[in-house]
Chains A and B, each alone.
Chain A
Amino acid sequence: MTLLDFARGPALEWSLIIFVAGSLWRLVGALLVRRKADLSDPRSHSTLAGGIRTVFTRMWPRKEFYSGTLFGVIAGYALHIGLVIVVFLFTPHILFIDSMFGISWPGISNNLVMFAGAITVAALVALLIRRITTPLLKTISNADDYISWVMTLLPVLTGMMAFAHIGGPYQTVLAIHILTVEAMLIWFPFGKLFHAVLWIPSRAQMGAAMQRRGVKA
């Protein structure tokens, strides 16, 4: 079995199993922790609407908070939008997804995808520099932040290397690229990458609780 066969075969299967099972375990486990009913008289009963609204309103900070957040927000958006383009609009990725799940959609030009990849890498680097040079962020960071950073960077970087045919034989670089994606999938349920799932329930419960008290969140 070649490295590429391993990456496309058992490694892919197991990483997907860990990704799905681990994610369900963590999400359901957190959601099932008991909640006590609030017996106080609510100001508003529209808690569902309040929850849904906050899921969207927290996508951008209110102007009062710009001064302390804009760098992180803009770099964060660059990173996330770049990732979405690279992962879901690169034609070989769409073909791969089609072969696995039987669904496909049109891709965009490779040059645009590479540009998005470069933006993603640049945003990741900027965020890392900020994390290790700002006393505040250094203080609140832990190993999870750095592992998650590496797990996000490697698939993008190796993917760009495979596309540009640099770093070794194409088959080997491609295999390494797929293995880094699998490493990311395995890490996903255990670290902070899991915010990709939790951002909805965590924002929604804040919005619902604030709505109950008559406050815009």
Chain B
Amino acid sequence: MTINMEIFQQFAEQLPHLGEHAQPPQMTDAARVETARETFVRKLDGRMAVDLESCIHCGHCASACHFYVGTEDPKYAPIRKLDLLKRVYRREISPLRWLHRLYTDDITVKDLQEWQELVYDSCTECGRCSMVCPMGINIAGMVNVMRQGMARAGMMPAELMAMEQEQGGHDSLFGVGPEQMKGAIAKLQEAGVDIPLDKHEADVLVTTSVIDIILFTDGLIATARIMNHLGLDWTLRSDGYEAANFGLLSGCERVQKIASEKIVLAARACGAKTVIIPECGHAYPSMRWEAANEHGGKLPFEVLAISEFLGREVKAGRLKLNTLGRDRKVTYHDPCKLARHSGTIEEPRWVLDALGVDFREVDSGRELNWCCGGGAGVFLINSASELRQQAFQVKMKQVEKTGADSVVTACGSCRLNFMNGSMRSNWDKGIESLVELVAEALPTH
């Protein structure tokens, strides 16, 4: 299946105007600083304390960062992105705070303005830097805390603010709310796609994302076909379908909880034992790792990424696939949030193996894969456009070395970034979705 580039271009043309819908909160500079500082103090925990005490300023993290490697600008050194958090830690929490306060400056609104680019535009929270750090510092996790402080201080990029406000305030994204979603599903049903919507009881709750509804419809259709092929008792529910979580991406904790709780409640309402997350990178850790903590207790269902689910079905022999042929030379792009953050590494490879394609592993793949440069909402940030493209060059080179004709991935955001980067670089590689490949290889009954 191929993506309609015309629709993609229409979508891409809307993005520069996204931020116009944001309604920045009116706050004094002092209030912004106080709010950011209070958030940092509240979110800093024991693990971060040990991490922030441990850095030896070796700079190895920079060599693992696509934004530093793509630009060679030292301001993008991952550890430097934590400077404000570190200063607040040193002044307020560190066991040596009485000493550090003598020479550590408090954060200012000017600092927050400067660091906005560093924690939003130039960090996808991909976590590759933590894999090289000789001290094992979790930089990405602390960048997320920086985002949380900046978000509460009203200092996030307008694009993410607009999305977060739309999701938290209107229960919609890109203008797609439950009613528009039901309309889109109705159209697919009319076209003959069997999508059981709003079932009262189901074993499996399948979620989707606005990107699949308006752009990658083939991915949604493919998911439905696979579920039906497997004969599962599944549903898509209008009260908990949106897996994308702009609360998590922007750093807005309140909206993060609203978004994940919708899925928790929908799954509970239909008694689902399994919740399937679509090809959407951040949506997976949002539900798999964060939602239980937002919810305040263990979730009564299993959370699976669609690529993880497909891999398990293939491995268990429940999903037999036609082979697509070894003339298809493909490589796989591990979405950071699925692989490095979540351990979904073998499952997509089991699927590719079953598809019988000529699979070529990248030279730094799996949990060490280079990020595409578009994750954690960076794809939507207009001011990050050039940086993103520079970081994407690192990814392009990595893919080119494999000799593959196309890149398969399991994340809509990665896919968007690959498509955008390809367009801008006149790159000839195909960008394919794992779930769509599987649907293509489903045996006919």
Contact = CB atoms under 8 A, between A and B. Distances in A.
Verify that A and B bind, or say they do not. yes
B136 interface: yes
B40 to A, nearest CB: 13
A198 B50 contact: yes
A134 B72 CA distance: 11
B47 A209 contact: yes
A10 interface: no
A43 B289 CA distance: 10
Interface string A174-217: 00000000000000011010110011011111110100011111
A58 interface: yes
Given A43-B343, A214-B342, A61 B132 contact: yes
A129 interface: no
A213 B303 CA distance: 13
Contacts of B289: 38, 40, 213
A194 B302 CA distance: 42
Interface string A30-49: 11111110111101000000
Nearest to B367: A215
Contacts of A139: 74-75, 77, 80
B144 to A, nearest CB: 14
A171 interface: no
What's the dominant secondary structure at chain A's contact region? helix
Contacts of A199: 54, 134-135
A26 B96 contact: yes
A213 B342 contact: yes
Interface string A54-65: 100010011011
Given A26-B53, A41-B292, A137-B57, A64 B364 contact: yes
A28 to B, nearest CB: 7
B47 A205 contact: yes
Contacts of B345: 214-215
Interface in A125-150: 134-142, 144-145
Interface string B79-118: 1100000000000011110010000000000000000000
Contact of A35 (B47, B64, B295, B299): B47
Contacts of A61: 60, 132, 134
B42 to A, nearest CB: 11
Contacts of B263: none
A215 B343 contact: yes
A138 B73 CA distance: 12
A33 B44 contact: yes
A129 to B, nearest CB: 14
A68 B96 CA distance: 32
Given A39-B298, A217-B131, A68 B56 contact: no
Interface residues of A, number: 59
Given A54-B136, A215-B343, A28 B95 contact: yes
A109 interface: no
A192 B56 CA distance: 6
Interface string A1-44: 00000000000000000000000011011111111101111010
A69 interface: yes
A25 B339 CA distance: 38
A72 interface: yes
B132 A41 contact: no
B132 A69 contact: yes
Q: Which of A38, A39, A134 has the most CB of B within 10 A?
A: A39
A137 B59 contact: yes
Contacts of B68: 136
Contact of A140 (B79, B296, B363, B368): B79
A11 B328 CA distance: 73
B34 interface: no
B212 interface: no
Contact of A65 (B75, B132, B367): B132
B294 to A, nearest CB: 9
A188 B194 CA distance: 67
Given A35-B46, A199-B135, A213-B341, A72 B95 contact: no
A111 interface: no
A67 interface: yes
A206 B130 contact: yes
Contact of B60 (A34, A65, A203): A65
B314 to A, nearest CB: 18
Contacts of B343: 43, 213-215
19 contacts: A28-B95, A29-B96, A36-B45, A36-B293, A39-B298, A40-B289, A54-B136, A61-B132, A64-B364, A68-B64, A69-B132, A136-B62, A138-B74, A139-B74, A142-B57, A202-B54, A203-B135, A206-B133, A215-B339
In the complex, the 7 A-B pairs of residues with the closest C-beta atoms, listed nearest first = A68-B63, A29-B95, A214-B343, A206-B136, A139-B74, A35-B46, A64-B364
Given A68-B62, A215-B343, 15 more contacts: A26-B95, A30-B49, A38-B289, A40-B290, A41-B299, A65-B368, A68-B63, A139-B77, A192-B57, A195-B54, A207-B136, A209-B47, A209-B138, A214-B345, A217-B130
